[in-house]
Amino acid sequence: MAQPLFGLVPANLPCITTPTETPSPTSLIYSIPADRPFSHVVIFLLPGVVLPDATAAAIYLLTPPSVPGSPPVQRFLGGIGPGKESAIFNLRSSSTSSSSDASQQQQQQQQQQPVLIGISIEPAASVAERIAEVKAAKEAAAATTGSNSNSDNSNALVVARPSTLVLAQRIIQNAFNFLASFSGTTAGQVEVVPLKAFEEWWRKFEGRVRADPGFLERAEN
C-alpha cells in the first residue's frame, strides 16, 4: 500500500488521499480535521486502483471509547469496490438505536477533534451482507419517521434541491469527464490515470466551487 488507494472528500473540505495510520496491510485510518463541521464524506477508489479479487473496502466511523485505554468504537457505514467504486456516507446515525453515536460524533466536531475514518479490505460477500443490513435499518427508520412527520409537513413550503447522493454523483461525473482524457494503458493492459491529473482536477474543481458554490445544484449535461 505504498501508493494512495482511496480518496476522501468531506463536505466543504479538501480531498484527502494519504492515510494517517496503516495498522495492517489491509487496514487504513484517515484523520479529517473538524475545524469546519461536516456530516457527509465521499469516498472513492483512486484512478487505476484495483482491489484484490473477491474483496471490497468496508468503511467505518471511529469514535473514542467510553473507557480509556479501550480500542476505538467502530460504526459500519458501508462499502465500495468493484461495480461501486465510490459512494457518499452520512456520518450521522439514522436510527434511534445509534443516536448516542451521532451525539458523540457531533460533540467531537464541536471540540475540533479530528474525525477518524477507517477503511478495511474485507471479503466482498461479508461487506455486501452488512450493507444490506444497514440499508434495511435505514428504510425501517425512514418509514417510521415519514409516517410521523407527514401531517406536520402538509402545509410546509418545500424547495426542491438535489439530494446528497445526486450531488456526489455530479462530483464524480465531473472528475470522470476531466480525468478520462488523461488515461493510459500499462504494459499489462491496465488502464491508469496519473495522480497529478487528479490533483489538477481537484484544484480546478475547488476553484469553481469557490467562484460558484451552487453550480452542482443545477442540472448540467
Over the stretch 17-71, which tens digit does the pLDDT of each residue have? Answer: 999 999 999 999 999 987 778 889 999 999 889 999 999 999 999 988 777 777 8
Rounded distance between C-alpha atoms, residue 76 and residue 132, angstroms: 12
Q: Is residue 101 part of a domain?
A: yes
Give the pLDDT band (50/70/90) at residue 143. Answer: confident
Q: Looking at the structure, tell me whether residues 70 and 113 fall in a common domain.
A: yes
Q: Is residue 187 part of a domain?
A: yes
Q: Is residue 151 part of a domain?
A: no
Q: What is the pLDDT of residue 96?
A: 38
Q: Looking at the structure, tell me whether residues 14 and 112 fall in a common domain.
A: yes
Query: For the chain, what is the mean pLDDT?
Result: 79
Give 37 or 184, the one with higher predicted confidence.
Answer: 37
Q: Is residue 189 part of a domain?
A: yes
Q: Which of the listed residues 93, 110, 141 is the one where a domain comes to its end?
A: 141
Query: What distances in angstroms separate CA 207 from CA 18, 84, 142, one per listed residue?
Result: 22, 27, 36
> Domain count of the chain?
2
Sheet holding 86-90, edge to edge: 6-10, 40-45, 86-90
Q: Looking at the structure, tell me whether residues 120 and 21 fall in a common domain.
A: yes
Helix (H) or strand (E) holding 77: strand 73-80
Q: What is the pLDDT of residue 98?
A: 44
**Among candidates 12, 17, 2, which has minimal Cα distance to 119?**
17
Q: Is residue 146 part of a domain?
A: no
Kindly report, residue by residue over 98-126, the tens digit of the pLDDT: 444 545 555 554 456 889 999 999 999 99
97, three cell numbers? 438505536
Coil, helix or strand at residue 54: coil
Q: Is residue 213 part of a domain?
A: yes
Q: Is residue 152 part of a domain?
A: no
Kindly report, residue by residue over 200-212, the tens digit of the pLDDT: 888 888 888 778 7
Q: What is the pLDDT of residue 109?
A: 47
Q: Which of the listed residues 113, 141, 169 is the one where a domain comes to its end?
A: 141
Q: Looking at the structure, tell me whether residues 3 and 106 fall in a common domain.
A: yes
Q: Looking at the structure, tell me whether residues 220 and 176 fall in a common domain.
A: yes
Q: Looking at the structure, tell me whether residues 103 and 182 fall in a common domain.
A: no
Q: Which residue has the cell 478520462?
A: 180
Q: Looking at the structure, tell me whether residues 38 and 137 fall in a common domain.
A: yes
Beta-bridge partner residues of 61? 75, 117
Q: Looking at the structure, tell me whether residues 32 and 100 fall in a common domain.
A: yes
Q: Looking at the structure, tell me whether residues 173 and 134 fall in a common domain.
A: no
Expressed as residue numbers, the domain containing 133 is 1-141
Give the pLDDT band (50/70/90) at residue 189. Answer: low
Q: What is the pLDDT of residue 110?
A: 47
Give the pLDDT band (50/70/90) at residue 192. Answer: confident
Q: Is residue 155 part of a domain?
A: no
**Burial group, residue 81, by CB count within 10 angstroms (0-12, 13-18, 19+):** buried
Rounded distance between C-alpha atoms, residue 66 and residue 54, angstroms: 35
Q: Looking at the structure, tell me whether residues 114 and 215 fall in a common domain.
A: no
User: Alpha-carbon Rg of the chain, whole angstroms?
Assistant: 19
Rounded distance between C-alpha atoms, residue 79 and residue 67, angstroms: 28
Largest separation between any pair of C-alpha atoms in the chain: 62
User: Percent of the chain scored above 90 by pLDDT?
Assistant: 32
| pTM for the structure as a whole | 0.61
Give 213 or 19, the one with higher predicted confidence.
Answer: 19
Q: Which of the listed residues 86, 114, 141 is the one where a domain comes to its end?
A: 141
